[in-house]
């Protein structure tokens, strides 16, 4: 399980479910519901983590020092999104 803290939000990924804990509650997203995930630079050392879903995307702010951890999370989610061929 991977867990990172972004400002006051927490994001956890267990290989199948991405869970985001916000100040006002939490949301769980099964890997089959995630259409994409990316990190984009913003202004003043801030970055925007975007989790693309079928309908409304989820946005989380990350600081520059969080980028390596966020990139690890993105890589894990993207690996899990790829279908297993056999």
- Residue 86 domain flag: no
CB atoms within 10 A of CB 48: 13
Domain count of the chain? 1
β-pairing verdict for 58-63 and 46-53: antiparallel
- State if pTM tops 0.85: yes
* Alpha carbon distance 74, 27 (integer Å): 17
Do 47 and 7 contact (CB within 8 A), yes or no?
no
Q: What is the CATH number of the domain that holds 13?
A: 2.30.29.30
pLDDT digits (tens, 9 = 90+) for 29-71: 999 999 999 999 988 889 999 999 988 999 999 999 999 999 9
**Could you tell me the residue range of the domain that residue 32 belongs to?**
2-81
């Amino acid at each position: 399980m991977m867990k990172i803290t972004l400002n006051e939000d927490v994001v956890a990924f267990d290989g199948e479910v991405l869970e985001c804990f916000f100040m006002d509650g939490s949301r769980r997203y099964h890997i089959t519901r995630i259409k994409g995930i990316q990190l984009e630079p913003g202004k003043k050392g801030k970055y925007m983590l975007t989790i693309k879903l079928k309908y409304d995307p989820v946005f989380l702010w990350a600081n520059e020092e969080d980028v390596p951890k966020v990139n690890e999370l993105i890589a894990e989610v993207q690996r899990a999104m790829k279908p297993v061929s056999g």
